[in-house]
Structure 1
Amino acid sequence: MRHSLPAALRVFFSLVTLFGLTAHPARAAETYTEVTSSEGDGEFTIGPDYTVDKDLTDLGNPKGKSFEFTMKLADSKIFRGDDKTLEPDKKPVRTERKIFVYVPAAYKDGTAAPFLIIHDGPGSLKLVRNALDNLTISKDVNRKLPAFIAIAVENGGNDGKNSERGLEYDTMSDRLARFIAEEVLPAVLANADLKAAYPHFALTKNPWGHAVIGCSSGGAAALSMGWFRPDLFRRIIAYSGTFVAQQDDDAAEQAQFPHGAWDYHSELKLIEKSEKKPLRIFTHCSENDLRNKDPEETFHNWVMAGRRTSAALTAKGYHHRFVFSKATGHCDGKVFNQTLADTLVWTWRGYHGE
């Protein structure tokens, strides 16, 4: 008789394959030394006029391969879509989420590749694809990208408090990081179409080779993934980050973080008072980012939250880059079109493989 492994053991062996023995999460980085550099760190103001970076356009360079598949929420052990915090009648939950994967032409089968998780998939995937096509083959060593795999993950549906997307992105915990590591990445590695195209496809175990990008609540989620699990994710990109009080009011995490992501910079001084973590962090805020009518109203002022988060990261001594964009709104496309290539280059600076 054939016996199937218990769910817990299946997850364990998936993690062993992907990251090495989970009892030693830092082992993959023990023989790796990040090449640190302060080049590009600091605060930058752009606008009010904007251009499109040519490296984010199709320049006719060799293209990689794209893959797409779905994951049913009901099959998840972490985000099933049935949490008590949700209000599915008011904010519908998806039954399945799409996963988009782009393998750049510069990737060599059998290489343990670095990767970038993109929230709200496909999100910025088109721009990221163009950046990979153009900058993995760049002759300029100061403007070059490693051949990372782009993995865009669709959220579970809707937005704000009591939604599945809000639960996934605004909750102050390691839950999203675990979901990506324990469920999404093994699904990518097991995808039949991808395995047929790249029989020896592999992802690096080195956490310095694991990046994440998001905008709005996805930006807050990007920081939280690295903050709560720096053993899994260390390169963070947050555009128009929702560093405000948008965590579900009835979430278990409210007891420890009563104002959600606002507590990164609130009177709790989470960033300031916590031990410095091995992270490289990009943040951004638009001049006209979401805010309440009262510009001084706390807990829900995106501009205030973005600036205070940036100040806290800088004061703590993180490798941090902050961009403030004039005459732009929340998750404004003009900002992405001008800055994303530079942001990716800065984010991956110092990475040199395993």
Structure 2
Amino acid sequence: MNRELYEALGLHQQFGETQGRSFLLASANGRCTMEIESAINAAGDKPYHPCLEATPDSSTPKGTVHHLKDWHESRVFPNTTRDIAVYRPHGVKPGQALSLLLCFDGANYLDPNGPVRAAQVLDTLIARGDIPATAAVFVNPGLPQPFQSADLLSTEFDAAKIAAADQRSIEYDSLCDTNARFILDDVLPLVSKSFDIRFSALPSQRIVCGLSSSGIAAFTLAWHFPTEFARVLSHCGSYVNLRGGHHYPYLVRTTERKPIRVYLQSGAADANITFGSWPLANQQMAAALDFAGYDYHFEFGSGGHSLRHGGAVFADSLRWLFRGETP
């Protein structure tokens, strides 16, 4: 297909642009983006609960969590504000190189009462010697100025929510390397300097993780920079046509295999909206990884578009991704 035809069909635009609306409010054939809400609250998620490792016993040494609130000094995404949190494991020795877990949509993973409870899981796994001593960085998507807060879970489509959702899509759904450069050039140097943390330089000791749009963002980071991050944990990844993510299965099949290990998770009740079917998209992605000879695992259950299933298998997924690495 030549460029002229590609553009004539409107394939160069995100759904909603031709309607002059945010993708959140766009509709076609009597269907709309916000039908995703039924998948976020799917009955198929009821069997899933946080993994046992998310509840450490009282004798387990606890790491510490530090916060950078309203950070707004990004050179890659200027004029945005975001929160960043950092988990530092217990008993770190001066100069010790730590493995790294990077979580996009970080607050969802860090929430101590949420479906994942990442800090508690890390406390348990590190204390048991199941994984190496690991620091974690939890990065939220940026809020474009002048909006300093937005409730993405509300059903009110105010200007703040629309601007925040659009910014999140730009950062996470885009297939370019901009978000990866944001992490490598802005976030990791900031965290290292602010909290005196030395990250392992081995890509096999660096996991990048995310949900939905941030799930595909995790894969995109490793795809562009496999010598920096070689482990991917993708929960309900958006390998659909939000900003071209549906092309990844083809790219995986036709590009020389990259040295990355991938853990995919989705479910039968995952989202099925105007941009595509998440269950089918993740199955296509898994089939492509298999075809190309990747080291991958595909966890497909009954759940919807949430972290419920991902949280239930979170400890197992970290063990699988870190396997072969010396604690």
TM-score interval, smaller chain: 0.7 to 0.9
Per-residue CA deviation, residues 90-127 of structure 1 (Å, 9 max, x unaligned), is xxxxx411110011114333211111111012221242
Structure 1 residues 317 and 136: alpha-carbon distance in aligned structure 2, compared to 1, 3 A threshold: same
Unaligned runs of 5+ in 1: 1-45, 82-94, 196-200, 248-259
Identify the match of residue 185 of structure 1 among 185, 188, 198.
188
Whether 2:252 is the aligned partner of 1:271: answer yes
Q: Tell me how large the CA RMSD over aligned residues is.
A: 2.2
2:122 aligned counterpart, secondary structure: helix
- Which of 166, 169, 174 is equivalent to 1:171? 174
Q: Summarize the alignment of residues 34-49 of structure 1 with structure 2, pairs less than 5 Å apart.
A: 49=47
The one-letter code matched in structure 1 to 2:257 is K
Question: Do 2:131 and 2:325's aligned partners in 1 also have CA atoms closer than 8 Å?
Answer: no
Identity score, percent: 31
Q: Write the mapping of 1:174-323 to structure 2, written as runs, cut at 5 A.
A: 174-191=177-194, 194-195=195-196, 201-247=197-243, 260-265=244-249, 269-292=250-273, 300-323=276-299
Change (3 A) 1:134 1:161: closer
Tell me how far 1:161 sits from its aligned partner: 10
Superposition map of 1:114-193 within 5 A: 114-125=99-110, 126=112, 127-138=117-128, 144-157=130-143, 163-191=166-194
Shift of the alpha carbon at 1:301? 1.3
1:60-87, Cα deviation, whole Å (9 max, x unpaired): 21111111114644x3221124xxxxxx
Under a length normalisation based on structure 1, what TM-score does the superposition of the two structures give? 0.69
Q: Which has the higher helix share?
A: 2
- Classify 1:52/1:118 alpha carbon distance in 2 versus 1 (closer, same or farther; 3 Å): closer
Distance in 1 (CA, whole Å) between partners of 2:163 and 2:172 is 9
Secondary structure of 2:204's counterpart equals helix
User: Could you state the TM-score of these two structures normalised by the residue count of structure 2?
Assistant: 0.74
**Amino acid in the other structure paired with 2:220:** S
The 1:52/1:69 distance shift into structure 2, 3 A limit, reads closer
1:66 counterpart letter in structure 2: V
1:49 Cα deviation after fit: 3.4
Amino acid at match of 1:331: S
Q: Tell me the matched-pair count.
A: 261
- Partner AA of 1:337 in structure 2: G
